[in-house]
Amino acid sequence: MRSKPNLIFFGIDSMRADHMSLYGYPRLTTPHMDKLASKGTICEKAYSPHIPTTPGYGSMLTGMDVFGTDVVALRHQGAMGGHVKTLAEILGERDYNTTCVGFSGNPAARGFQSYIDFKGWGSWEEGRSRKAENLNEVTIPELERLASEDKPFFLFLRHMDPHSPYLPPQPFERMFYHGNELDPNNKSLQPVYDFLPFTYYFQSWFPPGCTDKDYIIAQYDGELAYMDACIAILFTAIESLGLTEDTLIVIDSDHGETLFDHDCYFDHHSMYDATLHVPLAFHWPGVVPAGTRLPDYCGLQDVTPTILDLMGIDAGIKFDGRSLVPLMKGEQLPPRDEYYITEATWMRKHGWRTPEWKLIHALEPDFHFKPEIELYNLIDDPEEYNNLAEARPDVVADLEARMQAHIAKRERETGRPNPIYTNLNWHGQGGPFESSQQAYDTLRIGSPKAAEALQARELKTQRGQKEGL
């Protein structure tokens, strides 16, 4: 047995908790992760309060909120400030070997000794994507190397399978879909094609002629199942190398994913719970309590403090998050069920979430033409489709006051302004948008030329089929 434990961290991108069988989804999407997590501790109400990837991983890997990291936008300019330490830096200072797979270039990935990349993207033209197999191909040799060294190690794995494009290989492509995705009478994808900011990107990876939104949702679920099968191979490798007893395994995600929710098609912008609610599980035989599900609210800023506490490491840092170990032991902690939420992906917004209410306040007009203020009762309307802002101005005023009090407190504590106020070029297009129409006309994802080429090929194929009749 090693004197210091190893850490293997599955930091899976865009994994929506409520599409995992681990969290009660009726489709069996994640059986292998379910099995491992059931032997450890599962956090039922883990949330990523700061969307999207850059601030999400920033909180996860530093134990800080956006006031602590000063990172709030996807397109963060420059490196993460030297006022914070990453988990890789903390463990590297304690003589750990540290390796990061699939995460080079992100501010939150600072401090790893080794960076290994893999092909984690794809398009329809390139064919079905084998992202998780590509990750395994580079990870298993590195895992074997780390296991052979006379040092503990930290291995961080950023799986990209739940991130679009959703192109799982067979048999996962048809695992959760048995219809006709090309049915001309199905118009469910038409609003997706009509959404100009994203349409070129979608046309680069949707099957040509696809009409059914449920097929695309099934591809997301297929990606989860495919990735889970590949992760099972890593679990087997961990066991075969004799690492199980000495290794803390963490499963987490930077944010969830919007599928056909709220017009935020197949992406992870917005602050609805589809994007905020993430999986979080810890496994370490004999250390992490087995068969435990924590009902308490927690956030990504709690992940690093919890890891260090489990590993017996005092970093001497005053984290914004806190260790969840007392909860694992059945002890009580003061509830933290209200929290500040932010987004700077394709929209710039912030808000306040409680167990009952969610306030969303747009800081500039968004490209979905949504109202400036949104208010949802999460008990009566958990899917967040009934905006009560006009009907309940009293609740809006109360939540806004609580949010502003929190902002003022954190600005005093850090001595820095709220970064959601200062990141005005979050979209790379200059200053704030003045209208939703301007945002809609400006923001574009994907290449029109690539979409045109795919459409031309599709038309050529159709002509050839007609000529052959």
The pLDDT of residue 469: 38
Q: Are 237 and 172 contained in the same domain? A: yes
Does the residue 386 lie in any domain? yes
Q: Which residue, among 256, 214, 302, 348, has the nearest Cα to 16 in the 3D structure?
A: 256
Does the residue 132 lie in any domain? yes
Does the residue 306 lie in any domain? yes
Name the token pair of 130.
Answer: 């084998």
Q: Are 324 and 367 contained in the same domain? A: no
Q: Are 406 and 262 contained in the same domain? A: no
Q: Are 17 and 52 contained in the same domain? A: yes
Q: Are 362 and 387 contained in the same domain? A: yes
Q: How many domains does the chain have?
A: 2
Q: Are 351 and 312 contained in the same domain? A: no
Structural domain including 400 reads 340-442
The pLDDT of residue 466: 38
CATH of the domain at 52: 3.40.720.10
Q: Are 295 and 392 contained in the same domain? A: no
State the DSSP code for 127. Answer: -
Q: Are 165 and 205 contained in the same domain? A: yes
Q: Are 109 and 245 contained in the same domain? A: yes
CB 19 within 8 A of CB 258: no
Question: Which residues of the chain register pLDDT less than 50?
Answer: 454-469
- CA geometry: angle at 396 spanning 391 and 398, to 5°? 130
Q: Are 250 and 350 contained in the same domain? A: no
Does the residue 140 lie in any domain? yes
The pLDDT of residue 78: 79
Name the token pair of 150.
Answer: 């006379």
Q: Are 220 and 245 contained in the same domain? A: yes
CATH of the domain at 349: 3.30.1120.10
- Length of the chain, please? 469
H/E element, 352 = strand 348-353
Does the residue 139 lie in any domain? yes
The pLDDT of residue 430: 86
- CA geometry: angle at 397 spanning 391 and 398, to 5°? 110
Pairing verdict, β 97-101 and 348-353:
unpaired
Q: For the chain, how long is the longest CA-to-CA vector?
A: 75
The pLDDT of residue 458: 41
